[in-house]
Structure 1
Protein backbone atom coordinates (compact mmCIF):
# COMPACT_ATOMS: atom_id res chain seq x y z
CA UNK A 1 0.00 0.00 0.00
CA UNK A 2 1.27 3.46 -0.88
CA UNK A 3 2.35 5.70 2.01
CA UNK A 4 2.60 9.49 2.00
CA UNK A 5 5.91 10.53 3.58
CA UNK A 6 7.10 14.02 4.46
CA UNK A 7 10.91 13.86 4.25
CA UNK A 8 12.33 17.21 5.36
CA UNK A 9 15.35 18.85 6.95
CA UNK A 10 14.98 21.22 9.88
CA UNK A 11 17.01 23.31 12.25
CA UNK A 12 17.22 22.19 15.86
CA UNK A 13 14.58 24.82 16.68
CA UNK A 14 12.13 23.36 14.15
CA UNK A 15 12.40 25.58 11.07
CA UNK A 16 12.64 24.23 7.53
CA UNK A 17 13.35 27.59 5.89
CA UNK A 18 14.83 30.81 7.19
CA UNK A 19 12.93 34.10 7.64
CA UNK A 20 13.36 34.82 3.90
CA UNK A 21 11.97 31.43 2.86
CA UNK A 22 15.39 30.15 1.84
CA UNK A 23 16.69 26.63 2.44
CA UNK A 24 20.24 27.48 1.36
CA UNK A 25 21.41 27.18 5.00
CA UNK A 26 20.62 23.43 4.80
CA UNK A 27 22.73 22.62 1.73
CA UNK A 28 26.00 21.84 3.61
CA UNK A 29 24.11 19.25 5.68
CA UNK A 30 22.27 17.78 2.69
CA UNK A 31 25.59 16.96 1.03
CA UNK A 32 27.02 15.14 4.05
CA UNK A 33 27.80 11.57 2.89
CA UNK A 34 25.53 9.81 5.41
CA UNK A 35 22.64 12.16 4.64
CA UNK A 36 23.06 11.70 0.87
CA UNK A 37 23.20 7.92 1.29
CA UNK A 38 20.06 7.85 3.44
CA UNK A 39 18.21 10.12 1.04
CA UNK A 40 19.15 7.96 -1.97
CA UNK A 41 17.75 4.86 -0.25
CA UNK A 42 14.58 6.77 0.59
CA UNK A 43 14.23 8.15 -2.95
CA UNK A 44 14.44 4.64 -4.45
CA UNK A 45 11.17 3.83 -2.63
CA UNK A 46 9.36 6.84 -4.08
CA UNK A 47 6.97 6.48 -7.00
CA UNK A 48 5.50 10.00 -7.06
CA UNK A 49 6.16 13.43 -5.60
CA UNK A 50 3.77 16.11 -4.35
CA UNK A 51 4.92 19.69 -3.87
CA UNK A 52 3.49 23.11 -3.10
CA UNK A 53 3.51 25.93 -5.63
CA UNK A 54 5.99 28.19 -3.78
CA UNK A 55 8.46 25.36 -3.27
CA UNK A 56 8.08 24.38 -6.92
CA UNK A 57 8.77 27.98 -8.01
CA UNK A 58 11.98 28.01 -5.94
CA UNK A 59 13.10 24.70 -7.45
CA UNK A 60 12.33 25.90 -11.00
CA UNK A 61 14.33 29.08 -10.37
CA UNK A 62 17.32 27.08 -9.10
CA UNK A 63 17.09 24.57 -11.98
CA UNK A 64 16.81 27.37 -14.54
CA UNK A 65 19.80 29.19 -13.03
CA UNK A 66 21.75 25.94 -13.12
CA UNK A 67 22.44 25.83 -9.38
CA UNK A 68 20.67 22.46 -8.98
CA UNK A 69 19.51 19.71 -11.35
CA UNK A 70 15.89 18.52 -11.59
CA UNK A 71 16.12 15.96 -8.79
CA UNK A 72 12.82 14.16 -9.37
CA UNK A 73 13.87 12.42 -12.59
CA UNK A 74 10.94 10.95 -14.49
CA UNK A 75 8.72 10.44 -11.44
CA UNK A 76 5.27 12.03 -11.63
CA UNK A 77 5.27 15.35 -9.77
CA UNK A 78 1.98 16.82 -8.57
CA UNK A 79 2.08 20.57 -7.86
CA UNK A 80 -0.59 22.15 -5.66
CA UNK A 81 -0.98 25.76 -6.79
CA UNK A 82 -3.39 28.64 -7.17
CA UNK A 83 -1.33 30.26 -9.95
CA UNK A 84 -0.13 29.53 -13.46
CA UNK A 85 3.41 28.16 -13.16
CA UNK A 86 6.12 27.43 -15.71
CA UNK A 87 6.80 23.89 -16.82
CA UNK A 88 10.17 22.22 -17.18
CA UNK A 89 10.97 20.27 -20.35
CA UNK A 90 11.04 16.53 -19.70
CA UNK A 91 9.42 16.76 -16.25
CA UNK A 92 6.22 14.75 -15.62
CA UNK A 93 4.16 17.56 -14.05
CA UNK A 94 0.51 17.79 -13.05
CA UNK A 95 -0.69 21.14 -11.69
CA UNK A 96 -3.69 20.85 -9.37
CA UNK A 97 -5.95 23.02 -7.24
CA UNK A 98 -8.20 21.97 -4.42
CA UNK A 99 -8.21 19.88 -1.32
CA UNK A 100 -5.49 17.35 -0.51
CA UNK A 101 -8.07 14.71 0.38
CA UNK A 102 -9.71 15.04 -3.03
CA UNK A 103 -6.42 14.42 -4.90
CA UNK A 104 -4.66 11.94 -2.60
CA UNK A 105 -6.10 8.83 -4.28
CA UNK A 106 -4.98 9.96 -7.77
CA UNK A 107 -1.54 10.88 -6.45
CA UNK A 108 -1.20 7.49 -4.74
CA UNK A 109 -2.23 5.67 -7.94
CA UNK A 110 0.43 7.54 -9.92
CA UNK A 111 3.08 6.20 -7.51
CA UNK A 112 2.48 2.62 -8.67
CA UNK A 113 4.13 0.28 -6.16
CA UNK A 114 6.13 3.16 -4.63
CA UNK A 115 5.39 5.69 -1.93
CA UNK A 116 4.65 9.41 -2.28
CA UNK A 117 7.17 12.00 -1.12
CA UNK A 118 5.44 15.10 0.25
CA UNK A 119 8.26 17.55 -0.44
CA UNK A 120 6.56 20.57 1.07
CA UNK A 121 6.38 23.35 1.79
CA UNK A 122 5.24 23.44 5.31
CA UNK A 123 1.66 24.53 4.52
CA UNK A 124 1.21 21.62 2.13
CA UNK A 125 2.54 19.15 4.71
CA UNK A 126 0.13 20.66 7.24
CA UNK A 127 -2.75 20.24 4.78
CA UNK A 128 -1.84 16.55 4.42
CA UNK A 129 -1.93 16.16 8.22
CA UNK A 130 -5.30 17.94 8.42
CA UNK A 131 -6.68 15.68 5.67
CA UNK A 132 -5.36 12.64 7.56
CA UNK A 133 -3.45 11.70 4.40
CA UNK A 134 0.11 11.85 5.76
CA UNK A 135 1.49 8.55 7.06
CA UNK A 136 5.06 9.37 8.12
CA UNK A 137 7.43 12.21 8.85
CA UNK A 138 11.14 11.65 8.20
CA UNK A 139 12.84 14.56 9.93
CA UNK A 140 16.53 15.30 9.42
CA UNK A 141 17.53 17.57 12.31
CA UNK A 142 20.75 19.57 12.06
CA UNK A 143 22.73 21.61 14.63
CA UNK A 144 21.64 25.00 13.40
CA UNK A 145 19.44 27.56 15.19
CA UNK A 146 17.49 29.83 12.85
CA UNK A 147 15.37 31.63 15.44
CA UNK A 148 12.51 32.19 13.00
CA UNK A 149 11.26 31.10 9.60
CA UNK A 150 8.90 28.47 8.19
CA UNK A 151 7.98 25.90 10.81
CA UNK A 152 7.70 22.20 10.11
CA UNK A 153 3.99 22.26 9.28
CA UNK A 154 3.45 25.96 8.64
CA UNK A 155 0.11 26.16 10.39
CA UNK A 156 -1.42 25.65 13.80
CA UNK A 157 -2.12 21.95 13.56
CA UNK A 158 -2.23 19.45 16.37
CA UNK A 159 -1.48 15.77 15.87
CA UNK A 160 0.14 12.88 17.66
CA UNK A 161 3.42 11.43 16.35
CA UNK A 162 4.86 8.05 17.32
CA UNK A 163 8.63 7.57 17.01
CA UNK A 164 9.48 4.62 14.79
CA UNK A 165 13.23 5.06 14.45
CA UNK A 166 16.04 7.45 15.32
CA UNK A 167 19.29 7.25 13.42
CA UNK A 168 22.49 9.27 13.63
CA UNK A 169 23.70 10.46 10.22
CA UNK A 170 27.25 11.59 10.82
CA UNK A 171 28.43 13.25 13.98
CA UNK A 172 25.75 15.86 14.57
CA UNK A 173 22.84 15.13 12.21
CA UNK A 174 19.91 12.96 13.24
CA UNK A 175 17.06 11.37 11.35
CA UNK A 176 13.84 10.65 13.25
CA UNK A 177 11.06 8.71 11.56
CA UNK A 178 7.59 9.17 12.98
CA UNK A 179 4.18 7.66 12.26
CA UNK A 180 1.28 10.12 12.20
CA UNK A 181 -1.66 9.56 14.51
Structure 2
Protein backbone atom coordinates (compact mmCIF):
# COMPACT_ATOMS: atom_id res chain seq x y z
CA UNK A 1 0.00 0.00 0.00
CA UNK A 2 1.16 3.51 -0.78
CA UNK A 3 2.39 5.41 2.28
CA UNK A 4 0.08 8.37 1.72
CA UNK A 5 -2.90 6.07 1.24
CA UNK A 6 -2.10 4.45 4.60
CA UNK A 7 -1.77 7.84 6.29
CA UNK A 8 -4.98 9.25 4.85
CA UNK A 9 -7.12 6.17 5.41
CA UNK A 10 -5.93 5.24 8.90
CA UNK A 11 -8.83 5.57 11.30
CA UNK A 12 -9.59 4.49 14.85
CA UNK A 13 -11.22 1.11 14.36
CA UNK A 14 -13.33 -0.21 17.25
CA UNK A 15 -15.10 -3.17 15.62
CA UNK A 16 -13.21 -6.25 14.55
CA UNK A 17 -13.89 -9.57 12.86
CA UNK A 18 -12.94 -12.75 14.71
CA UNK A 19 -9.97 -13.39 12.38
CA UNK A 20 -6.67 -13.52 14.25
CA UNK A 21 -3.71 -11.29 13.45
CA UNK A 22 -0.99 -13.57 12.11
CA UNK A 23 2.40 -13.85 13.79
CA UNK A 24 3.95 -12.58 10.55
CA UNK A 25 1.79 -9.45 10.59
CA UNK A 26 2.39 -8.89 14.31
CA UNK A 27 6.14 -9.19 13.73
CA UNK A 28 5.99 -6.66 10.85
CA UNK A 29 3.95 -4.26 12.99
CA UNK A 30 6.38 -4.48 15.91
CA UNK A 31 9.39 -4.06 13.61
CA UNK A 32 7.81 -0.88 12.24
CA UNK A 33 7.18 0.38 15.78
CA UNK A 34 10.84 -0.15 16.66
CA UNK A 35 11.91 1.78 13.55
CA UNK A 36 10.47 4.98 15.04
CA UNK A 37 12.72 7.91 15.85
CA UNK A 38 13.70 8.54 19.45
CA UNK A 39 15.64 11.22 21.31
CA UNK A 40 19.33 10.41 21.08
CA UNK A 41 18.33 7.11 19.45
CA UNK A 42 17.65 5.87 22.98
CA UNK A 43 14.77 3.56 21.98
CA UNK A 44 13.39 3.19 25.52
CA UNK A 45 10.37 1.21 24.40
CA UNK A 46 9.14 -2.27 25.20
CA UNK A 47 6.03 -3.89 23.74
CA UNK A 48 3.67 -6.33 25.42
CA UNK A 49 1.70 -8.23 22.76
CA UNK A 50 -1.50 -9.58 24.30
CA UNK A 51 -3.42 -12.40 22.61
CA UNK A 52 -4.65 -14.25 25.70
CA UNK A 53 -8.44 -13.81 25.82
CA UNK A 54 -8.50 -13.70 29.62
CA UNK A 55 -6.00 -10.83 29.71
CA UNK A 56 -7.72 -9.00 26.84
CA UNK A 57 -11.06 -9.29 28.62
CA UNK A 58 -9.55 -7.84 31.83
CA UNK A 59 -8.29 -4.67 30.11
CA UNK A 60 -11.60 -2.71 30.31
CA UNK A 61 -11.41 -2.95 34.11
CA UNK A 62 -8.19 -0.91 33.84
CA UNK A 63 -9.12 1.33 30.92
CA UNK A 64 -12.75 2.54 30.86
CA UNK A 65 -12.66 3.39 27.13
CA UNK A 66 -11.18 0.13 25.88
CA UNK A 67 -14.30 -2.05 25.70
CA UNK A 68 -13.56 -2.85 22.04
CA UNK A 69 -10.68 -5.04 23.20
CA UNK A 70 -13.25 -7.71 24.10
CA UNK A 71 -13.79 -8.36 20.39
CA UNK A 72 -10.18 -7.86 19.27
CA UNK A 73 -7.66 -10.66 18.79
CA UNK A 74 -4.63 -8.55 19.72
CA UNK A 75 -3.63 -5.61 21.86
CA UNK A 76 -0.16 -4.15 22.24
CA UNK A 77 0.92 -2.10 25.22
CA UNK A 78 3.77 0.27 24.52
CA UNK A 79 5.87 0.91 27.60
CA UNK A 80 9.12 2.71 28.40
CA UNK A 81 12.08 1.52 30.43
CA UNK A 82 13.35 4.67 32.12
CA UNK A 83 16.88 3.32 32.63
CA UNK A 84 17.29 3.43 28.83
CA UNK A 85 16.61 7.18 28.65
CA UNK A 86 19.46 9.51 27.75
CA UNK A 87 17.17 12.53 27.97
CA UNK A 88 14.70 12.12 30.84
CA UNK A 89 11.11 12.82 29.93
CA UNK A 90 11.45 12.17 26.23
CA UNK A 91 10.08 8.65 26.67
CA UNK A 92 6.58 10.02 26.09
CA UNK A 93 7.55 11.40 22.68
CA UNK A 94 9.56 8.31 21.78
CA UNK A 95 6.71 5.96 22.63
CA UNK A 96 4.23 8.16 20.77
CA UNK A 97 6.35 7.92 17.62
CA UNK A 98 6.46 4.13 18.03
CA UNK A 99 2.67 4.01 18.41
CA UNK A 100 2.16 6.00 15.21
CA UNK A 101 4.54 3.72 13.28
CA UNK A 102 2.77 0.70 14.72
CA UNK A 103 -0.65 1.96 13.64
CA UNK A 104 0.48 2.94 10.13
CA UNK A 105 2.11 -0.45 9.65
CA UNK A 106 -1.11 -2.12 10.77
CA UNK A 107 -3.08 -0.03 8.28
CA UNK A 108 -0.64 -0.96 5.53
CA UNK A 109 -1.39 -4.61 6.27
CA UNK A 110 -5.17 -4.05 6.28
CA UNK A 111 -5.35 -4.37 10.07
CA UNK A 112 -7.41 -1.89 12.06
CA UNK A 113 -6.22 -0.25 15.25
CA UNK A 114 -7.25 2.21 17.91
CA UNK A 115 -4.94 4.08 20.29
CA UNK A 116 -6.20 4.02 23.86
CA UNK A 117 -4.04 6.33 25.91
CA UNK A 118 -2.68 5.25 29.26
CA UNK A 119 -0.24 8.11 29.92
CA UNK A 120 -0.74 10.55 31.67
CA UNK A 121 -3.62 8.91 33.58
CA UNK A 122 -1.82 7.45 36.62
CA UNK A 123 -4.67 5.05 37.44
CA UNK A 124 -4.61 3.57 33.93
CA UNK A 125 -0.82 3.37 33.83
CA UNK A 126 -0.63 1.68 37.22
CA UNK A 127 -3.56 -0.61 36.49
CA UNK A 128 -1.98 -1.79 33.25
CA UNK A 129 1.40 -2.22 34.95
CA UNK A 130 -0.24 -4.43 37.57
CA UNK A 131 -2.30 -6.41 35.04
CA UNK A 132 0.75 -7.13 32.86
CA UNK A 133 3.34 -7.45 35.62
CA UNK A 134 5.53 -4.61 34.36
CA UNK A 135 8.75 -4.35 36.35
CA UNK A 136 9.73 -1.36 38.46
CA UNK A 137 11.11 1.45 36.31
CA UNK A 138 8.87 0.66 33.33
CA UNK A 139 5.89 2.90 32.57
CA UNK A 140 2.89 1.91 30.47
CA UNK A 141 2.37 4.56 27.80
CA UNK A 142 -0.33 3.39 25.40
CA UNK A 143 -2.65 0.53 24.62
CA UNK A 144 -3.21 -0.18 20.92
CA UNK A 145 -6.07 -2.53 20.12
CA UNK A 146 -5.74 -4.35 16.79
CA UNK A 147 -7.69 -6.68 14.54
CA UNK A 148 -9.17 -7.10 11.11
CA UNK A 149 -11.71 -4.27 10.77
CA UNK A 150 -15.41 -4.97 10.63
CA UNK A 151 -16.14 -1.61 8.95
CA UNK A 152 -14.01 -0.81 5.93
CA UNK A 153 -11.37 1.91 5.93
CA UNK A 154 -12.37 5.13 4.24
CA UNK A 155 -10.56 8.30 3.32
CA UNK A 156 -11.51 11.50 5.15
CA UNK A 157 -9.91 14.84 4.33
CA UNK A 158 -8.83 16.50 7.57
CA UNK A 159 -6.65 19.17 5.92
CA UNK A 160 -7.28 22.64 7.37
CA UNK A 161 -5.26 25.29 5.54
CA UNK A 162 -6.32 27.92 8.08
CA UNK A 163 -4.14 26.11 10.65
CA UNK A 164 -0.96 26.59 8.65
CA UNK A 165 1.19 29.57 9.59
CA UNK A 166 4.30 30.57 7.68
CA UNK A 167 7.34 31.99 9.41
CA UNK A 168 5.22 33.50 12.22
CA UNK A 169 1.78 33.03 13.68
Greater Rg over alpha carbons, structure: 2
TM-score of the two chains, using structure 1 as the length reference: 0.27
TM-score of the two chains, using structure 2 as the length reference: 0.28
Structure richer in helix, relative to its length: 2
Structure richer in strand, relative to its length: 1
